[in-house]
Amino acid sequence: MKNQKLIIVGVIVAIIIAIPVGWYLLSPLWIDVEVQEDFPVVATPISIDPTQALEATKAMETALVEPTQPSVEDSMPAVELTVLAQGNFYPIAHASAGLATIYQLADGSRILRLQDFSVDNGPELHVYLVPIDPVPDSVGREIAGSVDLGSLKGNVGDQNYEISADLDLSQFKSVVIWCQPFRVAFSAALLVTQ
């Protein structure tokens, strides 16, 4: 009778532990997290000499007195950026799609942007830069030389990840969506230098 009570208590404790662990590991498989981040905007410093400031003030005063229709031909200034590398996602352990692009912005900073991105969700997904291509379909083995850019913000949608200024991008060939608990690559994109 005593052994039977211990077995019942053990089963109850196992169920209490298994439910949250199971939810943590399995719920991401059917719950999508959508992100829609805008492209980062970098403010560029504007320097105006006093003569230009005076001319601008006079133009504003004239515009207030004599309003005119805005011209459709007036356009927004172009954002200064350079595409450094780019590639499409392909599935490894899970379905995926989208474009990975590394941009250098006007201020010299660099970002990785995922656009039209989707991947099957999973627990603790991270965005890695890795020095290899193709990325192997292996479980339980880390990719040597990888750099973690942070947690995946969402398994669906456009998103940005900052890249450290001291990171030598020539050492990296792929972007990988990495599942940390299972140490498996969900998907990857080969980075082709532009």
Cα–Cα distance for residue pair 51/19, rounded to 1 Å: 72
If one compares 14 and 88, the residue with the highest pLDDT of the two is 88
Residue with tokens 């209490």: 16
Residue 76: pLDDT over 50: no
Residue 7 confidence (pLDDT): 78
Residue 16: pLDDT band with limits 50, 70, 90: confident
Instruction: Give backbone dihedrals phi and psi of 191, rounded to 5 degrees, phi first.
Output: -90, 115
Residue 24 confidence (pLDDT): 61
Residue 52: pLDDT band with limits 50, 70, 90: low
Residue 23 confidence (pLDDT): 56
The dihedral through the CA atoms of 95, 99, 104, 109 has a sign that is negative
Residue 98 confidence (pLDDT): 97
Strands 156-163 and 34-36: parallel
Cα–Cα distance for residue pair 33/177, rounded to 1 Å: 15
25 class by beta-carbon count within 10 Å (0-12 exposed, 13-18 middle, 19+ buried): middle
Residue 110: pLDDT over 90: yes
pTM for this prediction: 0.70
Cα–Cα distance for residue pair 44/28, rounded to 1 Å: 40
